[in-house]
A and B are shown apart, each in its own frame.
Chain A
Amino acid sequence: MDLLYDTLFNGLAIGSVLVLAALGLAVVFGLMGVINMAHGELMMLGAYTTFVVQNIFKAVLPEALFPIYILVALPLAFVVSGLAGLLLEKTVIRRLYGRPLETLLATWGVSLILQQFVRSVSSAFAIGLVVAVVAGILVPRFTPKVWWQQRWTPLLGTGSWIVTGLVGVVIASVLGEQRVFDQPWFSARNIDVTAPVWLRGSIDVGVVNMPAARLFIIALTVVALLLVNWFLQKSVWGMRIRAVTQNRTMSDCLGIPTEKVDALTFLIGSGLAGVAGVAVTLLGSVGPNLGGNYIVDCFMVVVLGGVGKLAGTVLAALGIGILSYVVGSGSLLLVWPAMPEGLNAVITFFATTSMAKVLVFALIVVFLQIRPAGLFPQKGRMVEA
Chain B
Amino acid sequence: MADLLSSRNLRRWLPWALIVLVALVLPVVLPPFRLNLLGRFLSLGIVALGVDLIWGYTGMLSLGQGIFFALGGYALAMYLQLNELKPGELPEFFSLYGVKSLPAFWQPFNSPLFTLVAIWVIPAVVAGLLGYLVFRNRIKGVYFSILTQAALLVFFNFFNGQQKLINGTNGLKTSTARIFGELIGSDAMQRNLFWLTVVITVAAFLLCRWLTHGRFGDALIAIRDDEPRLRFTGYNPTAYKTVVFAVAGALAGISGALYTVQSGIVSPQYMAVPFSIEMVIWVAVGGRGTLIGALLGAVLINYAKSLVSEALPETWLFIQGGLFLLVVLVLPDGLVGWWRQGGPGRLIAMVGWPPRTATYPALDLDPQVVAEQDQLERSGGGQG
Which residues on A are within 8 Å of B, measured CB to CB?
A: 29, 33, 35, 92, 95-96, 98-106, 108-113, 115-117, 119-120, 149-155, 292, 296, 299-300, 302-303, 352, 354-355, 357-358, 361-362, 364-365, 368-369, 372, 383-385
Q: Which residues of A sit under 8 angstroms from B352, Cβ to Cβ?
A: 151-152
Interface residue B318 (Cβ < 8 Å from any Cβ of A): yes
Within the complex, what minimum Cβ distance (angstroms) separates A87 from chain B? 13
Total interface residues on B, CB under 8 Å, equals 53
Report whether B321 and A113 are in contact in the complex, using a CB–CB cutoff of 8 Å: yes
- What is the bound-complex CA distance between A61 and B141, given in angstroms? 51
Provide the main secondary structure of the chain B interface: helix
Interface residue B281 (Cβ < 8 Å from any Cβ of A): yes
- What is the bound-complex CA distance between A119 and B352, given in angstroms? 44
Interface residue B300 (Cβ < 8 Å from any Cβ of A): no
Which residues on B are within 8 Å of A, measured CB to CB?
A: 55, 59, 61, 133, 136-139, 141-143, 145-147, 149-151, 153-154, 157-158, 160-161, 228, 273-274, 277, 280-281, 284, 314, 317-318, 320-325, 327-329, 332, 347, 349-352, 365, 367, 382-384
Within the complex, what minimum Cβ distance (angstroms) separates A149 from chain B? 7
- What is the bound-complex CA distance between A385 and B141, given in angstroms? 10
Q: What are the nearest 5 A-B pairs in CB distance?
A: A109-B324, A112-B321, A113-B321, A116-B317, A354-B157
- What is the bound-complex CA distance between A100 and B143, given in angstroms? 10
Other-chain residue from B146, B150, B157, B328 in contact with A109 (beta carbon distance below 8 A): B328
Can you sample 16 A-B contacts with CB below 8 Å?
Answer: A98-B382, A98-B384, A101-B142, A101-B384, A103-B328, A104-B145, A111-B321, A116-B318, A116-B321, A296-B273, A303-B147, A355-B158, A358-B157, A361-B150, A368-B147, A383-B228
Given contacts A99-B383, A355-B157, A368-B139, contact A108 B133 (CB under 8 A): no
Provide the main secondary structure of the chain A interface: helix
Minimum CB distance partner of B153 in chain A? A296
Q: Which residues of B sit under 8 angstroms from A120, Cβ to Cβ?
A: 314
Report whether A102 and B332 are in contact in the complex, using a CB–CB cutoff of 8 Å: yes
Other-chain residue from B145, B157, B332 in contact with A35 (beta carbon distance below 8 A): B145
Report whether B145 and A361 are in contact in the complex, using a CB–CB cutoff of 8 Å: no
Report whether A115 and B384 are in contact in the complex, using a CB–CB cutoff of 8 Å: no
Q: Which residues of B sit under 8 angstroms from A155, Cβ to Cβ?
A: 347, 350-351
Report whether A104 and B142 are in contact in the complex, using a CB–CB cutoff of 8 Å: yes
Report whether A154 and B350 are in contact in the complex, using a CB–CB cutoff of 8 Å: yes
Report whether A364 and B150 are in contact in the complex, using a CB–CB cutoff of 8 Å: yes
Report whether B161 and A352 are in contact in the complex, using a CB–CB cutoff of 8 Å: yes
